[in-house]
């Protein structure tokens, strides 16, 4: 029988995978394919930690295909020639895949449709509501989150696709050359990188565990600066972001699990907490549609006037920020968390992003790129949205005049300094009274740097820089 191909991209799972399911429903043998595209394995936003997490995810996917008498078929190279070659050798008649809405993927898939002679079946799988579905009364994309969310919540949500797929069968891959799934070493990465376990069964376990308890306390505990939610028995946030990033869990699985929890909630506060978590799923979809409809935001400000701000070119300060050596403990602890785990708590992301863009007055894109080089959940849309929000240049961003005070943020969200002490061992013995501002001690710890900048001075400098642009616009 003529085979069809399912091309895995950002959907590394077998369950509730819309394109894979449709491919299996044809009754023809399905070739499960993954292509290592060199364009995605380089560039300034490339991350070895994310590559490691993805490779582990591919191995888990390969394992889960074995009981179906097949393996994950690996190809290297530019997708169009790689697909052409496979279509010819396998004699495939159709290609199935789930859409990816980021700018590179949209361009690639447009070219694909013009270049291949087989039937092409793209599916909207990665979001509950794909770009273009949630539009304002005038059929325009929303650029204000609260309005988007209201509409998003009103729309009926697609169900989880489960159950038996008729004539389910995979191609045995007989006659097709199949190299092993590579290791980091094959990409000339020699450092050892520790990342959490990958794959859809781990993702589902994390979701199940979070739904049992964490989701009911989420609104209360989400801002506590978690040290490592991947190893925590009772994490305060779901720690699902890297799994969403690679489609190891679907948004339908997450949404309906949350709705089931909502039905089981015993108090109004618990129900509200579930709602807050669901609204995070809406943030994910909001930023995905922003990048899709306004692709210029990938490298420039959503609000073009802020491109005129006189940002500072300060490579040494950028480096100190990246290394966690600014002299502000909360900022440094967060950056060391990022460097160690490839993940950072959301509140911490906001603090360090505000610090880079407003205290150091460095252009947000530098931070966006630095984050993408480290984050295992690094997602072009969510990361860009988070950075532009923090910098005050984005859609409904934190206004430029609202500048986080890193000491107050530290006192509020890490009151006893546990997060700081964990990530900055050199401050372990500092009394709690001084943990947020150790330079105020009579003898500050010698191994820890003095503050890179005075916050009050930096605040004024940023206000001046932004006001100058505002005034120019008015005059
Ligand atoms: C400067 C900055 C950069 C960021 N970069 C990324 C990124 O590259 N990838 C990424 O997934 N998130 C990013 N975020 C959003 C957020 O910090 C992470 O999604 C969250 O910390 C992940 O932890 P969690 O899975 O425990 O989240 P939970 O609190 O359990 O939330 C559940 C899910 O909702 C989604 N979500 C939550 N908050 C946001 C948000 N603000 N924007 C978009 N989606 C959200 C994520 O998919 C997350 O897994 C960024 C935020 C900021 C301020």
- Helices within 379-417 (DSSP H only): 380-391, 406-413
382 CB near ligand 1 (under 6 Å): yes
Ligand 1 atom nearest to 352, measured from its CA: 1
DSSP SS3 for 287:
helix
pTM confidence score:
0.97
Residue 278's H or E segment, with its range, is helix 268-293
Cα–ligand 1 centroid distance for 260 (angstroms):
22
Give, to the nearest 10 degrees, the angle between helix 103-115 and helix 79-90: 40
214 CB near ligand 1 (under 6 Å): no
Mutate to test the pocket of ligand 1, among 283, 386, 397 (most ligand atoms within 8 A of CB): 386
Residue 398: its pLDDT value, please? 73
284 CB near ligand 1 (under 6 Å): yes
Atom 30 of ligand 1, residue of closest alpha carbon: 238
The gap from C-alpha 172 to its chain's centroid, in whole angstroms, comes to 34
pLDDT tens track, the chain, 475 positions: 999 999 999 999 999 999 999 999 999 999 999 999 999 999 999 999 999 999 999 999 999 999 999 999 999 999 999 999 999 999 999 999 999 999 999 999 999 988 999 999 999 999 999 999 999 999 999 999 999 999 999 999 999 987 767 778 999 999 999 999 999 999 999 888 899 999 999 999 999 999 999 999 999 999 999 999 999 999 999 999 999 999 999 999 999 999 999 999 999 999 999 999 999 999 999 999 999 999 999 999 999 999 999 999 999 999 999 999 999 999 999 999 999 999 999 999 999 999 999 999 999 999 999 999 999 999 999 999 999 999 999 998 678 888 999 999 999 999 999 999 999 999 999 999 999 999 999 999 999 999 999 999 999 999 999 999 987 654 4
Cα–ligand 1 centroid distance for 244 (angstroms):
10
Ligand 1 atom nearest to 222, measured from its CA: 29
Q: Tell me, what DSSP letter sits at residue 356?
A: I
287 CB near ligand 1 (under 6 Å): yes
371 CB near ligand 1 (under 6 Å): yes
Do 20 and 162 meet the contact criterion of CB atoms below 8 Å apart?
no
Cα–ligand 1 centroid distance for 126 (angstroms):
15
d(CA 121, CA 141): 25
286 CB near ligand 1 (under 6 Å): no
Please give the angle made by the CA atoms of 449, 375 and 339, to the nearest 5 degrees: 30
Mutate to test the pocket of ligand 1, among 209, 382, 384, 402 (most ligand atoms within 8 A of CB): 382
Token pair in block for residue 316: 């040494």
Please give the angle made by the CA atoms of 250, 252 and 253, to the nearest 5 degrees: 70
Token pair in block for residue 400: 């430029």
| Cα-Cα-Cα-Cα dihedral sign, residues 437, 440, 442, 445 | positive
386 CB near ligand 1 (under 6 Å): yes
> Phi and psi at residue 66, in whole multiples of 5°?
-55, -45
346 CB near ligand 1 (under 6 Å): yes
Residue 15's H or E segment, with its range, is none
Domain 200-293 class, CATH top level: mainly alpha
243 CB near ligand 1 (under 6 Å): no
Residue with tokens 């909630």: 265
Ligand 1 atom nearest to 380, measured from its CA: 8
354 CB near ligand 1 (under 6 Å): no
DSSP SS3 for 414:
coil
In the CATH scheme, what is the code of domain 304-466?
1.10.579.10
d(CA 103, CA 240): 23
338 CB near ligand 1 (under 6 Å): no
Token pair in block for residue 28: 């023809």
Cα–ligand 1 centroid distance for 243 (angstroms):
11
390 CB near ligand 1 (under 6 Å): yes
Residue with tokens 């240049």: 393
Residue 473: its pLDDT value, please? 58
Atom 21 of ligand 1, residue of closest alpha carbon: 346
Number of other CB atoms surrounding residue 65 within 10 Å: 17
Cα–ligand 1 centroid distance for 269 (angstroms):
23
Sheet containing strand 4-8, strands side by side: 73-76, 30-36, 4-8, 94-98, 119-123
- Assigned CATH topology for domain 1-125: Rossmann fold (3.40.50)
Token pair in block for residue 132: 């273009």
Residue 284 CB burial class (10 angstroms; 0-12, 13-18, ≥19): buried
90 CB near ligand 1 (under 6 Å): no
Residue 396: its pLDDT value, please? 80
241 CB near ligand 1 (under 6 Å): yes
d(CA 439, CA 443): 8
Q: Nearest CA to 382 among 409, 350, 426, 355?
A: 350
Atom 5 of ligand 1, residue of closest alpha carbon: 383
d(CA 46, CA 72): 23
Q: Tell me, what DSSP letter sits at residue 135?
A: B
Atom 17 of ligand 1, residue of closest alpha carbon: 346
Atom 4 of ligand 1, residue of closest alpha carbon: 383
Cα–ligand 1 centroid distance for 241 (angstroms):
6
Cα–ligand 1 centroid distance for 454 (angstroms):
29
Mutate to test the pocket of ligand 1, among 232, 243, 377 (most ligand atoms within 8 A of CB): 377
Cα–ligand 1 centroid distance for 226 (angstroms):
14
Mutate to test the pocket of ligand 1, among 230, 252, 284, 322 (most ligand atoms within 8 A of CB): 284
Token pair in block for residue 280: 């995070």
Residue with tokens 């991209």: 9
Residue 245's H or E segment, with its range, is helix 241-245
d(CA 239, CA 220): 16
**Domain segments of the chain as ranges:** 1-125, 200-293, 304-466
Q: Tell me, what DSSP letter sits at residue 355?
A: I
């Amino acid at each position: 029988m003529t085979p069809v191909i399912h091309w895995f991209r950002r959907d590394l799972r077998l369950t509730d995978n819309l394109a894979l399911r449709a491919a299996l429903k044809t009754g023809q043998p399905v070739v499960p394919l993954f292509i290592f595209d060199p364009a995605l394995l380089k560039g300034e936003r490339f991350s070895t930690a994310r590559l490691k997490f993805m490779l582990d995810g591919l191995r888990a996917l390969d394992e889960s295909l074995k009981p179906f008498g097949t393996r994950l078929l690996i190809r290297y190279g530019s997708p169009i020639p790689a697909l052409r070659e496979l279509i010819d050798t396998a004699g495939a008649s159709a290609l199935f895949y789930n859409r990816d809405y980021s700018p590179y993927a949209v361009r690639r898939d447009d070219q694909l449709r013009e270049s291949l002679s087989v039937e092409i079946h793209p599916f909207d799988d990665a979001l509950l509501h794909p770009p273009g579905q949630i539009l304002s009364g005038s059929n325009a994309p929303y650029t204000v989150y609260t309005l988007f969310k209201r509409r998003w919540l009103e729309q009926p949500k697609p169900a989880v696709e489960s159950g038996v797929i008729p004539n389910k069968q995979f191609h045995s891959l007989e006659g097709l050359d199949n190299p092993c799934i590579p290791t980091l070493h094959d990409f000339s990465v020699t450092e050892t990188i520790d990342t959490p376990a990958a794959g859809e069964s781990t993702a589902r376990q994390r979701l199940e565990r979070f739904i049992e308890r964490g989701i009911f306390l989420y609104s209360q505990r989400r801002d506590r600066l978690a040290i490592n939610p991947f190893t925590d028995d009772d994490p305060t946030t779901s720690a699902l972001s890297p799994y969403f990033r690679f489609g190891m869990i679907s948004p339908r699985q997450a949404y309906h699990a949350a709705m089931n929890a909502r039905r089981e909630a015993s108090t109004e506060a618990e129900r509200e907490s579930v709602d807050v978590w669901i609204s995070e799923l809406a943030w994910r979809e909001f930023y995905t549609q922003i990048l899709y409809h306004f692709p210029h935001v990938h490298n420039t400000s959503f609000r073009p006037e802020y491109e005129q701000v006189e940002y500072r070119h300060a490579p040494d300060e950028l480096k100190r920020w990246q290394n966690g050596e600014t002299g502000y403990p909360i900022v440094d602890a967060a950056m060391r968390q990022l460097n160690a785990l490839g993940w950072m708590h959301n509140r911490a992301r906001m603090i360090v992003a505000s610090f880079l863009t407003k205290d150091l007055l460095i252009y947000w894109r530098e931070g966006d790129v630095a984050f993408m080089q480290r984050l295992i959940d690094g997602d072009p849309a969510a990361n860009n949205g988070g950075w532009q929000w923090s910098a005050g240049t984005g859609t409904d961003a934190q206004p430029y005049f609202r500048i986080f005070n890193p000491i107050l943020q530290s006192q509020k969200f890490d009151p006893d300094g546990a997060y700081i002490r964990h990530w900055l061992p050199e401050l372990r013995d500092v009394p709690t009274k001084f943990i947020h501002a150790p330079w105020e001690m009579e003898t500050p710890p010698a191994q820890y740097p003095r503050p890179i900048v005075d916050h009050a001075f930096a605040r004024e400098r940023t206000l001046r820089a932004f006001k100058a642009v505002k005034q120019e616009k008015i005059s």
